[in-house]
A and B are shown apart, each in its own frame.
Chain A
Amino acid sequence: MKKVFIILFVLFFISSVLSAETAQDVLKKVESRQNEAKDAEIQVRITTIEKDGTKKTKEGIIFQKGEEKRVFKFTSPADIKGLSVLSTGKDTRYIYLPEFKKVRRIAGHVKNQSFGGTDFTNDEISSTKYSDDYDAVELKEGTETRTITLKRKEGSDREFDRIVAEVTADYVIKKAEMYKSDKLVKVLEVSNINKHGKYVIGEKMVMKDLTKNHSTEMEMVKIEFDKGLSDEIFTERFLKK
């Protein structure tokens, strides 16, 4: 009997060691969770909050397919209605300017610029893959969440050299702290984490820029997954419609 317990204990110990996730595993699963759906159409409301509490609201629709194809179309306010951004690759972006009836290719220098006057950068809005530019180097277990530390890879042009992210048991980022040279610059907090069919998503994100004392709330007003979005949506032709 004693031998049986010892064997069972050893087997349990080995399986625990083998199944223990690394930080990199957690990062991969987070990305996998973010890109789980084949496609998505999301109506968003973005509210920027100034230092003095003034709020400005913009609304738009996000179309996403796979990891790289994304369209963001502003639907309000009137001065930017119809303005759209298309991403089809890491450095392949186009913007449609309705006032000039022109589609322009956007160069890489805008990726770290503010998206539509918000605290999200163009890169943050269009990118869902961090493992290309970051290594997950540390994993800390918590009571409800786990914390992974991401360190920027050599040669990457991402803005932050370190990101510390709290991840839920469902592999959804609940909070992310972004650092530049050990200085905390931005904090992302995700709330209203709910299930939509078989997918889990945070319906509200708040990005705080600590250097400017400014924040942006992005609320997902309506979310639809796996609609069978056509590739034609991710074209210049669609931007101009």
Chain B
Amino acid sequence: MKIRLFLGLLLLFPSLVFSEETLKLGGDIRSNLYVGLVYGDIYNYFNSNVITLKGESRPSENVQGNFELRFRNENISELDRLSELKYRKYVEPVSLQFYEAYIQFSSIFFKALDLRFGKQRIAWGTADGFNPTDNFSPMDLEDPLDFKNKLSVWALNANLYYSSFDLSLVLQPLFEPALLPNFDLIGSASNQMMQQYSERLNEPLVRIPEFRARNFIYGTRLRYKGELFDISASYFHGYAAIPVLRDIMIETGGFALKSITPALSYPSQNVAGLDIAMNLFDIGIFGEAAVVFPDGIKPTYYVNGNRLEEKDKKTFGIPEGGVSVEDKSYIKFAGGFDYTFKGGYYINVQFVRGFFNELSSSALNNYIFAYMKKDFFDSVLQIQPSFGLELDTDKDEIFGGEKIRDEKAYIFSLETTYIPFNTGRIILGGAMARGDSGSNLKMFEKLDQIYLKFRLDF
């Protein structure tokens, strides 16, 4: 009897604490199917089914808790053992993504102070899609063509407001890596030795920054919002978005090469940023620049655990020189404009210097990205063509490659969205990329695809 009473109270208690007034739930259901047009390569198809659950609790005016969970079912797994058919995790792989879970205290300690603790998305920068000053939240490249998708991080985020100014201070003690796509984004395979001995190549290792105070990630931003423009200055200390080649471990047996194991790590960097947004003759102008001060990384070779000196590299057929990250500052930039023409034709054009995987001064290329949006039939149908063009050349010797100048590449996509009712969307789209050898966008050639996406918000 007592147990029943206890269980009854236990069931009743949450509803007393989390009454309808304090907890609000919402979310969406999504189903996506990508079909690769280059069969046999990395993108035959990819399917994901996601239920997103978002919750917000406001037990008082000054305290707010938010969470976002994503329940995912992805791809029919590549089964190749009979025994795997007995386990649901292989037949129906599912995962739980803890996207956000944070608590915010507003005006608790000081009236103008908001403090947010927990896993959260930190979004800096005014440019659209490419934000060189937005370095806390790593990229989510599950869909490699969606450059706006980011992961959240565990951080302490303080925002202080005063008149037209606000000051942000962020401390992120735990490193969170980017989710990489299923192809060689890093370019470690450009290493000449690894190309030559590819059959002896082990899967690369990756070293995450250890959890130590000296490895903490932090930053600050001061913003001014005025009548004519908004401007902000920021500083970030942390790590680059993607790992680079740090060590190459060679194992030999006698005079025969047994294996090569690359090891990657995340180069640390300091970033000073500036961004501005304004309205000029009704045209939206935005610009974001980041001066990056990287810690240079030159790959170190080990043979049977012993570090190989520069002078001995030739003995093993390893070219001298070559760096993963140059010890030299550089500027990344994203700037552009947007405008809506008569008839509702919206365009957004950006010039970008330095793609997210370009981590050295010599590796930077110039790009132009543009997209257009137009609604039809009372916003029931929306068409969005997008275009990206790689303009300039980097200095290819950074990976010890050939000096090829004036590589060009482009990427094109077309997306049609049908909105049959307020909260539902059906999206049909496709993308293709072509590029000269040595261009950066050429890596997307393998992703020629069409896709079909469904979404329902609740």
List A residues at the B interface (Cβ < 8 Å): 48, 50-51, 56-58, 77-79, 81, 88-89, 91-92, 100-102, 104-111, 113-114, 117, 157, 212, 214, 235-237, 241
Given contacts A101-B123, A105-B230, A107-B284, 12 further A-B contacts (CB under 8 A): A77-B423, A78-B27, A79-B422, A106-B284, A107-B282, A107-B339, A108-B279, A108-B283, A109-B340, A110-B340, A113-B340, A114-B379
> Contact between B121 and A56 (Cβ–Cβ < 8 Å)?
no
Q: Using an 8 Å CB-CB cutoff, how does the interface string of B1-41 with A read, 1 for contact, 0 for none? A: 00000000000000000000000001110000000000000
Please, how many residues of chain B have a CB less than 8 angstroms from a CB on the other chain? 38
Minimum C-beta distance from A114 to chain B (A)? 8
> Contact between A109 and B227 (Cβ–Cβ < 8 Å)?
no
Main secondary structure of the interface of B (DSSP, over half): strand
> Contact between A78 and B458 (Cβ–Cβ < 8 Å)?
yes
Given contacts A104-B277, A237-B159, contact A109 B283 (CB under 8 A): yes
> Contact between A78 and B423 (Cβ–Cβ < 8 Å)?
yes
- Of the A-B pairs whose beta carbons lie under 8 Å apart in the complex, a sample of 24, sorted by A's number, is A58-B422, A77-B422, A77-B457, A78-B26, A78-B27, A88-B227, A89-B227, A92-B227, A100-B123, A100-B148, A102-B123, A104-B126, A105-B277, A105-B278, A105-B284, A107-B338, A108-B281, A108-B283, A109-B283, A111-B282, A117-B378, A157-B282, A237-B161, A241-B64
> Contact between A214 and B378 (Cβ–Cβ < 8 Å)?
yes
| Complexed CA–CA distance, A117 and B382 (Å) | 12
B residues near A78, Cβ cutoff 8 Å: 26-28, 423, 457-458
> Does any Cβ of A come within 8 Å of B395's Cβ?
no
B residues near A108, Cβ cutoff 8 Å: 279, 281-283
B residues near A101, Cβ cutoff 8 Å: 121-123
CB interface residues, B 406-454, toward A, < 8 Å: 421-423, 425
B residues near A100, Cβ cutoff 8 Å: 123, 148
> Does any Cβ of A come within 8 Å of B344's Cβ?
yes
In the A-B complex, the 4 residue pairs with the smallest Cβ-Cβ separation, listed nearest first, are: A107-B284, A108-B282, A78-B457, A79-B457
Minimum C-beta distance from A169 to chain B (A)? 37
| Complexed CA–CA distance, A214 and B166 (Å) | 43
> Does any Cβ of A come within 8 Å of B106's Cβ?
yes
> Contact between B378 and A50 (Cβ–Cβ < 8 Å)?
yes
Interface centre among B64, B378, B425 (most CB of A within 10 A): B378
Minimum C-beta distance from B205 to chain A (A)? 33
B residues near A56, Cβ cutoff 8 Å: 421-422
Minimum C-beta distance from B340 to chain A (A)? 5
Q: Which residue of A lies closest to B286 (CB)?
A: A105
| Complexed CA–CA distance, A180 and B279 (Å) | 26
A residues near B126, Cβ cutoff 8 Å: 104-105
> Does any Cβ of A come within 8 Å of B326's Cβ?
no
Q: Which residue of B lies closest to A58 (CB)?
A: B422
A residues near B339, Cβ cutoff 8 Å: 107, 109
A residues near B288, Cβ cutoff 8 Å: none
> Contact between A109 and B284 (Cβ–Cβ < 8 Å)?
yes
Given contacts A100-B123, A101-B121, A113-B340, contact A81 B26 (CB under 8 A): yes
